[in-house]
A and B are shown apart, each in its own frame.
Chain A
């Protein structure tokens, strides 16, 4: 479904992503792991069209998408919930969700999907007219995921959804991600919390300073000594 071929992404003269390859198959959860500064967010921002790769190609459903403007990529079916949630904090929950559906015109479908978000996260439904900035970290993360879902993406990219959340809240979010997969959404999950991400992942890629160091099934990576040492705190 999504194929990344040898992309190099730079900020000024510094390469943050140095020629990586990976693929996401339809229906999978794929995790992209790595410590702070490894290049995970840069990769997602490049897929979304916020950054242009210096070289390499990005293919989605058989078509090349690198070089397209970001709004065209959303129209193709790729949504991103960015790192740090980036909600429109002074706007209401409802307005945030409406913005998530910006690329769509089917008013009744948008309404139905909004109700689905409220079913999934009842807190958001109960306080739908309150400003997004007034919610707790976990609730804001739910809203960020709900907002990204509002474009009805085929591929949903989540950048560190567990950041700053309690272990219980992290579990809730991970459970939601599994539910979304069961609904047929393909997911690219960026995490520093390797344990949580790998337990869900069909496939995992480990990124270090802009390069992919290991890749395997989620289960295999969870059992891999190198991964356990570096990312799971085992010794």
Chain B
């Protein structure tokens, strides 16, 4: 039973990470019908942005848990977000916007190009920035006092603090997203644009701005996920976006692509499925297999996803 709870926590925290990345796939798809295959790299760049912020703050290693949690970690998250959002907006502006109206394959190929470009950019040039370590192989992520290596015990189950951080980050992000989509003018414009772009234009909505907002929101959450990944795994690397991106994309499809709640649910379900399957059905080496088996099953039997894809409404 304890093992079950352990796997439950592992699955949920892994799922929370997928969910944070999956939101970015889904909001962008909902508005421009583009699978942004470079989104995994936006997540990776968030982790490197947070790392660079830590270096810029003087690579602090002796801060107390309180100052680490109240100052260091928030600064690193903000730094990661700045890096991710700037990269995502530049990608949108220069790699996708010129291809709007082109056949759908064109932006998809462009996205794959951007993905390779960003990986290589970090691999070859991160170490060239003064003060930054070489990123040709993985880089150890800084220890954050109070989180890294820390655990709490709940009814006999040991829970890693990085897992708690990831779950809390997802909870806060979900509340923020709900508020943004349902209560702000830009959020309403986003929903309108995803339902009917031409009519949204007739309302006076600047669709370019809405598209930028979608990329920015997705990138900000991906940056949080990048930090979470660093904390949970202890290191980051230029390749980390590939598998995480693929998993998060699976989560978005699982929940119903275009559906924000679906991305959150899909992420959690995928994380749980992976943790449980690798525990009860085979070794951990198989966990990626189970994730993609789940994707194939959903695509065959419920292509609209668990919560249903975005309902495009043109009546």
Contacts and interface: CB of A to CB of B under 8 A. Distances in A.
The 10 closest A-B pairs by CB, nearest first: A103-B204, A74-B204, A70-B201, A86-B199, A102-B204, A71-B206, A99-B203, A102-B203, A71-B204, A89-B313
B207 to A, nearest CB: 8
Interface of A: 45, 48-50, 69-71, 74-75, 79-80, 82, 84, 86, 88-91, 95, 98-100, 102-103, 133, 147-148, 151
12 contacts: A50-B198, A50-B201, A50-B202, A71-B205, A71-B207, A79-B202, A82-B202, A86-B199, A88-B191, A95-B188, A99-B200, A100-B203
B315 interface: yes
A98 B204 contact: no
Contacts of B198: 45, 50, 82, 86
B199 A151 contact: no
A107 B203 CA distance: 16
A133 B315 contact: yes
Interface residues of B, number: 21
Interface in B189-217: 189, 191-192, 195-196, 198-207
B311 interface: yes
A100 B200 CA distance: 9
Contacts of A69: 201, 206
Given A84-B315, A99-B188, A99-B189, A71 B199 contact: no
Nearest to B189: A102
Given A84-B315, A102-B185, A91 B191 contact: yes
Contacts of A74: 202-204
A91 B192 CA distance: 9
Nearest to B198: A50
A46 B204 CA distance: 15
B206 A48 contact: no
Contacts of A90: 195, 311, 313
Contacts of A75: 204
A89 B201 contact: no
A62 to B, nearest CB: 21
Contact of B202 (A70, A84, A95): A70
A68 B185 CA distance: 23
B78 to A, nearest CB: 29
Contacts of B315: 84, 89, 133
Interface in B79-94: none
B195 A80 contact: no
Nearest to A151: B204
Contacts of B207: 71
A86 B195 CA distance: 10
A48 B196 CA distance: 16
A221 to B, nearest CB: 28
Interface string B275-315: 00000000000000000000000000000000000010111
A70 B188 CA distance: 18
Interface in B248-277: none
A88 B204 contact: no
Given A70-B201, A71-B201, A86 B206 contact: no
Nearest to A45: B198
A48 B199 CA distance: 11
Contacts of B203: 74, 99-100, 102-103, 147, 151
B191 A48 contact: no
A88 B196 contact: yes
Contacts of A70: 201-202, 204
B195 A88 contact: yes
B65 to A, nearest CB: 45
B307 to A, nearest CB: 14
Nearest to B202: A80
Contacts of B191: 88, 91
A79 B315 CA distance: 20
A74 B205 CA distance: 9
A147 B207 CA distance: 18
A106 to B, nearest CB: 14
Contacts of B205: 71, 99, 102
Contacts of A84: 315
Contacts of B192: 88, 91, 99
A95 B185 CA distance: 10
B204 A86 contact: no
A195 to B, nearest CB: 27
Contacts of A102: 185, 189, 203-205
